[in-house]
Amino acid sequence: MRIGNRNRRLVILRRVETGTDLLNAPVFEWQTWRTVWAEKIHKKEDERFASDLHQRYAVHLVIFRISYLSGISEVDRLECEGVTYDIKGLRELGFREGTEITAESQS
Question: What residue numbers bound the domain in which 61 lies?
Answer: 3-106
Q: With 0-12 CB in 10 A as exposed, 13-18 as middle and 19+ as buried, what is 90?
A: middle
Confidence of residue 75 (pLDDT cuts 50, 70, 90): very high
CB count within 10 Å of CB 19 equals 8
Distance of CA 107 to the CA centre of its chain: 14
- Per the structure, the count of domains in the chain is 1
- pLDDT for 27-66, tens place per residue? 999 999 999 999 999 886 555 544 555 555 577 899 999 9
- pLDDT for 95-104, tens place per residue? 999 999 999 9
Confidence of residue 12 (pLDDT cuts 50, 70, 90): very high
**Residue 101 maps to which CATH number?**
2.40.10.270
* SS3 letters across 50-90: ECCCCEEEEEEEEEEEEECCCCCCCCCEEEECCEEEEEEEE
